[in-house]
């Protein structure tokens, strides 16, 4: 089964891409993913959100075999490039026309692959075989591991290893095994064991599991760390970031504070792990290089810490690297891989003479630059503060137009007036919830959610957003994750 990344409509972008034979300009159709899932919304391909651009493309704009079949049946008599309206009027007919074709020549038609979530242009990706037969289920239930269904004893052992870092003793397994005939007994027992592990040093401690989950988001560099364990060029202390990340991902706390927190926390103890919120007076007394200078009213959680702006914004006027890292780390879209592209009309506007309007750059920057504008009033290296007139200091290098850079931006097609509104839209989006759950899914199950996982994966991220279910509490979501077949089936 192909290991596929499930992304939102923005992630597909998608590039039903058409070249104009005269101008040879790239024309993308951001409406493509939504249109595809209007036809196939009940399928596994669309169950976790519209698929990535690789459904129709190898390296965009080049089409794969499935994308080529779509193109050959898409409004054949209409001159290129198609308008969005022309595309939408024709796409359903084109998809219908190729349903019984077999783009990758693997013996499975395109419709069956879309229905089952496999890749219609990749012969190595095929729908899953049917589940266990009745005879296999019966035999498996008498084996050491029940490979046909959720196995509570297997899950019990796995929880010990994943969350506590140790194997259960023989006596603990034997005691738990007495409960497996009655779900009303073994399920609460699993929950109790998980709760014990969720407060362990292995899970929440410095260099623990949750700490390391933050590594790709924080990207620590020891040489420029300040504070405890400082490096030779101390510029910022990333312990603040790790502590806030661990705090928001533990206890009865809202994980959206990763983007919304206007406070900082400090690790008080590591055995057992405990934290406390720092007062503003305490923050003011921090030494140079460790201070958090962004005023509380302008903070946006992990997006405005001294470390995040120091290593990403640094000296740049329009902080494209900062926006790209925020988009990748907290919403799951890597623009360098053409994920999450959602072109904004009349962008990029080229305020800083960086050449982003060049044909090879403009398409990605029409999404990236509007993401970066809300970050443009936050200083990076050395200062780490909010300065409404920050861009005036860049005129000599970037030219006079740099001061025209707006603070307003666009995220997911929605205009946001500043970084605070950017953070609100991001934190309350399905993309944020999917990314949070995807991080834990990959950590605990060991792979990206695949087609067969979409019902369970989808229930988890939707449940994370649901006030009546997990209400953005990660630990509540983890209690449900360890009960999924993906986790508990050997």
- Dihedral of the alpha carbons of 40, 41, 44, 48, in degrees to the nearest 10: 140
As a whole number of angstroms, the distance between CA 59 and CA 53 comes to 9
Strands (E), 47-157: none
Q: Which two tokens stand for residue 169?
A: 């003793």
Q: At what angle do helices 430-445 and 320-331 cross, to 10 degrees?
A: 60
Answer yes or no: is pLDDT of 12 > 80.
no
Task: Kindly give, in sequence order, each residue whose CB lies less than 8 Å from that of residue 47, ignoring residues fewer than 6 positions away.
Answer: 117, 454, 455, 458
**Which residues have C-beta within 8 Å of that of residue 137, sequence separation ≥ 6?**
148, 149
Helix (H, G, I), strand (E, B) or coil at 187: helix
DSSP class per residue in 444-478: HHSS---GGGHHHHHHHHHHHH-TTTTTTBHHHHH
Phi then psi dihedrals of residue 57, to 5 deg: -130, 150
pLDDT category at 308 given cuts 50, 70, 90 is very high
Q: What are phi and psi of 7, to 5 degrees?
A: -130, 170
**Which pTM value belongs to this model?**
0.83
pLDDT tens digit string along 388-438? 999 999 999 999 999 999 999 999 999 999 999 999 999 999 999 999 999
Structure tokens at 29: 């159709």
Q: 267 and 273 in contact (C-beta within 8 Å)?
A: yes
Residue 20 pLDDT: 32
The answer, yes or no, to whether residue 204 has pLDDT greater than 60, is yes
Q: Pick the more confident residue, 403 or 126.
A: 403
- pLDDT bin (cut points 50, 70, 90) of residue 202 is very high
At residue 311, φ and ψ (nearest 5 deg) are -85, -15
Q: How far is CA 142 from CA 5, 182, 185, 224, in A?
A: 36, 16, 20, 57
Q: Tell me: the pLDDT tens digits for 243-265?
A: 999 999 999 999 999 999 999 99
Q: How far is CA 143 from the centre of its chain?
A: 38
- Between the two ends of the chain, the Cα-to-Cα distance in Å is 17
- Quote the pLDDT of residue 411: 97
Which DSSP string do the residues of 245-301 spell out, in sequence order?
Answer: HHHHTSSS-BTTHHHH--S-EEEEEETTEEEEEPPHHHHHTSPTTT---S-GGG--G
């Amino acid at each position: 089964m192909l290991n596929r990344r499930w992304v939102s409509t923005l992630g597909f972008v998608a590039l039903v891409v058409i070249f104009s034979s005269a101008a040879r300009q790239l024309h993308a159709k951001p409406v493509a993913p939504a249109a595809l899932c209007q036809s196939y919304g009940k399928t596994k391909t669309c169950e976790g959100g519209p698929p990535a651009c690789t459904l129709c493309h190898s390296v965009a704009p080049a089409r794969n075999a499935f994308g080529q079949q779509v193109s050959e049946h898409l409004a054949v008599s209409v001159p290129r490039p198609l308008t969005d309206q022309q595309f939408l009027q024709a796409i359903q007919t084109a998809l219908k026309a190729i349903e019984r074709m077999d783009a990758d020549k693997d013996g499975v038609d395109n419709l069956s692959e879309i229905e089952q979530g496999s890749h219609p242009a990749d012969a190595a990706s095929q729908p899953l075989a049917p589940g266990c037969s009745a005879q296999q289920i019966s035999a498996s239930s008498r084996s050491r591991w029940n490979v046909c269904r959720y196995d509570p004893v297997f899950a019990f052992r796995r929880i010990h290893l994943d969350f506590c870092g140790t194997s259960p003793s023989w006596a603990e397994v034997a005691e738990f095994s007495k409960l497996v005939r009655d779900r009303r007994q073994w399920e609460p027992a699993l929950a109790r064991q998980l709760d014990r592990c969720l407060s362990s040093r292995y899970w929440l401690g410095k260099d623990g599991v949750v700490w390391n989950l933050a590594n790709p988001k924080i990207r620590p560099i020891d040489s420029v760390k300040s504070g405890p364990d400082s490096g030779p060029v101390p510029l910022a202390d990333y312990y603040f970031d790790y502590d806030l990340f661990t705090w928001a991902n533990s206890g009865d706390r809202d994980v959206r504070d990763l983007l919304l927190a206007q406070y900082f926390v400090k690790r008080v103890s590591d055995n057992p792990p405990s934290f406390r919120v720092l007062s503003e007076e305490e923050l003011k007394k921090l030494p140079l290089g460790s201070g958090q200078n962004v005023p509380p009213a302008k903070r946006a959680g992990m997006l405005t810490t001294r470390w995040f702006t120091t290593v990403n914004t640094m000296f740049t006027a329009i902080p494209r690297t900062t926006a790209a890292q925020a988009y990748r780390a907290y919403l799951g879209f890597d623009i360098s891989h053409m994920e999450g592209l959602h072109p904004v009309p009349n962008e990029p506007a080229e305020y800083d003479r960086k050449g982003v309007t060049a044909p090879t750059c403009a398409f990605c920057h029409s999404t990236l630059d509007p993401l970066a504008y809300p970050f443009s009033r936050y200083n990076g290296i050395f200062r780490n503060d909010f300065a409404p007139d920050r861009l005036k200091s860049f005129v000599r290098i970037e030219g006079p137009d740099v001061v025209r850079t707006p603070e307003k931006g666009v995220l997911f097609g929605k205009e946001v007036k500043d970084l605070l509104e950017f953070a609100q839209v991001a934190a309350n989006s399905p993309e944020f919830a999917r990314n949070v759950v995807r991080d834990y899914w990959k950590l605990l199950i060991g792979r990206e959610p695949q087609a067969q996982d979409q019902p369970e994966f989808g229930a988890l991220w939707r449940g994370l957003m649901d006030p009546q279910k997990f209400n953005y509490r990660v630990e509540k979501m983890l209690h449900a994750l360890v009960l999924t077949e993906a986790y508990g089936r050997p």
